[in-house]
Structure 1
Amino acid sequence: MAVPARSLLYQVVCYEHPLNERVRSLLRLEFLFQQVTHAVAGHSSWDSRAALQGLFDLLALTGRNEFKGDLLKELERHGTTLNRLRQVPGVHAATLDSVLAEIDSVIGQVHGLDSLALESVRQTDFLSAIHKRNQVPGGTCRFDLPAFYHWLQQDALIRADHLREWLAPLLPLQQATTLLLRLIRESASPRPEIAVQGFFQRGLDSGAPHQLVRVLLPAGNALFPEISGGRHRFSIHFLEQPDPNRRAVQSSANVAFELVCCAI
């Protein structure tokens, strides 16, 4: 997944690759929350359709019974890891206390997640009918779901209020996702690297909790990275694709880039 990022000196594009399934789910959640937030702020019926699609995807992704428990375990693990930094010379105690307090606050919000309200959203007849027809290509045309079409004709502010109401039970999960990914991304700094003839590979210490690989390139660069890897190693192929109608090919040039290996 590519996300915009800013270097101190120039505009860059950051490509990210998760190194475990837990971070993969967090990145997908972040993507969906960003999609829904953007769509809810829009005024057209197409924005409302996009917001509902994001909502359905969020409900599907968070539907596992153990999902809430997994988030709590990860938050608690980060809290324990950061608390050990008190023993490290030079650590700014006030900053550390602030982050730990934020983790405790989000843990409390996730504990307080209203499961009944979330299940009520899942069982809403109006949403269920749209979701079912959404599985059919073009299945939410105006003649398929007149109730949905009627809702789309209402004022944008009314639709936005309904969407926020349905999204409200998910907000603790959004806050947990945002905090965890921020902690992961801030756990390491960019380092300059060279991919010889468009290829770079690195082994990882299996004893360290590596979470995420980030590759930073200047905006407007003609190349993009294809990243693969897991717990023990990762590799990066820098590809060129000037015409999307043709297959991408690996660059034969040495490619300078910035690499961030996030471990926490």
Structure 2
Amino acid sequence: MTAEIVYEHPLNTKIRTYLRVEHLFTQLSALSNTEGEALQLSFFSTLFSLLDMLDRTDIKPDLLKDLERCESQLVQWSRHPAVSDHKLQPLLQRALRYQTELIRCGKLAMPLKEDKFLAPLRQRFALPGGCCFFDVPQLQYWLKLPTSEQQQQISDWLAQLALTEQTLAFVLNFIRQRGEFTELQAENGFYQQNAEQYELLRIKYSQACCSFPTVSGNRYRYAIRFMQLSEQDGRSACSNDIRFQLACC
């Protein structure tokens, strides 16, 4: 069976940041249970990239606003007779709990940014070749600790990020569920449409079409161009019609 690929493209800065943070969380999760020096160094590099992202862009106000929208939408749905209340109530309770905990927690990931072990490493990792052991002997020592001790410390660090990760996953899932996939055709590999204040495009296409989508756009209008890999130019535009599915969220 031919695999399907879902490509997502943000139409505003907020969603672009959300997706980048989500991507780093996914990488962090994959690296958190690995063994071996190279993979563990990748874990620290990803962790510090995430902290840098949370430093540059404070997503907490946006998360709170989106949680309020989720709450409002869930309350509205609960009044509809065809909607099962027992399915909505857990979602509504989660939205309310995340709002309460976000308000209480202060600045996101602050305990990790102030961690006496992590903070000096983060500064060195920001430099090319900065994680050489003569610069950070404490890291070399940590890498030689028993695996059980390393895993416990990693679990403690990730616990400091759990609220951010869970809230972001909840909000993004809610946003993704706003759009349903519709069958469309890109004539000569090209499709464009008005954005109508959408925030996220989700493009589902078959790997068998041997192409991939590129998107340009904003909150007013977007264009999708399917491309294919080219040895000479790196990539080139497709000239054939391509069937795909699109969800506007």
Instruction: State the alpha-carbon separation in 1 of the partners of residues 227 and 13 from structure 2.
Output: 25
> Do structure 1's residue 68 and structure 2's residue 60 form an aligned pair?
yes
> Do structure 1's residue 163 and structure 2's residue 154 form an aligned pair?
yes
TM-score (norm 2): 0.90
> Do structure 1's residue 194 and structure 2's residue 185 form an aligned pair?
yes
Q: How does 1:16-27 map to 2 (within 5 A)?
A: 16-27=8-19
8 A contact 1:198–1:251 mirrored in 2? yes
8 A contact 1:14–1:217 mirrored in 2? yes
Q: How does 1:77-226 map to 2 (within 5 A)?
A: 77-88=69-80, 90-113=82-105, 115=107, 118-206=109-197, 210-226=198-214
Q: Pick from 218, 222, 227: which aligns with 1:230?
A: 218
- Identity level (%): 28
Matched with 1:38 is: 30
Matched with 1:4 is: none
The more displaced of 81-90 and 37-46 is 81-90
- Aligned partner letter, 2:227: L
Instruction: State the alpha-carbon separation in 2 of the partners of residues 212 and 120 from structure 1.
Output: 32
TM-score (norm 1): 0.85
- Aligned partner letter, 1:165: D
Instruction: State the alpha-carbon separation in 2 of the partners of residues 118 and 240 from structure 1.
Output: 40
- Aligned partner letter, 2:92: L
Secondary structure in 2 aligned to 1:91?
coil
Instruction: State the alpha-carbon separation in 1 of the partners of residues 12 and 172 from structure 2.
Output: 13
Displacement after TM superposition at 1:127 (Å): 1.7
Displacement after TM superposition at 1:10 (Å): 5.7
Q: 1:96 to 1:119 in 2, by over 3 A?
A: closer
Displacement after TM superposition at 1:36 (Å): 0.7
Displacement after TM superposition at 1:242 (Å): 4.7
Instruction: State the alpha-carbon separation in 2 of the partners of residues 165 and 220 from structure 1.
Output: 43
Structure 1 runs not aligned, ≥5 long: 1-8
Instruction: State the alpha-carbon separation in 2 of the partners of residues 219 and 179 from structure 1.
Output: 28
Matched with 1:240 is: 228
8 A contact 1:44–1:156 mirrored in 2? no
Secondary structure in 1 aligned to 2:55?
coil
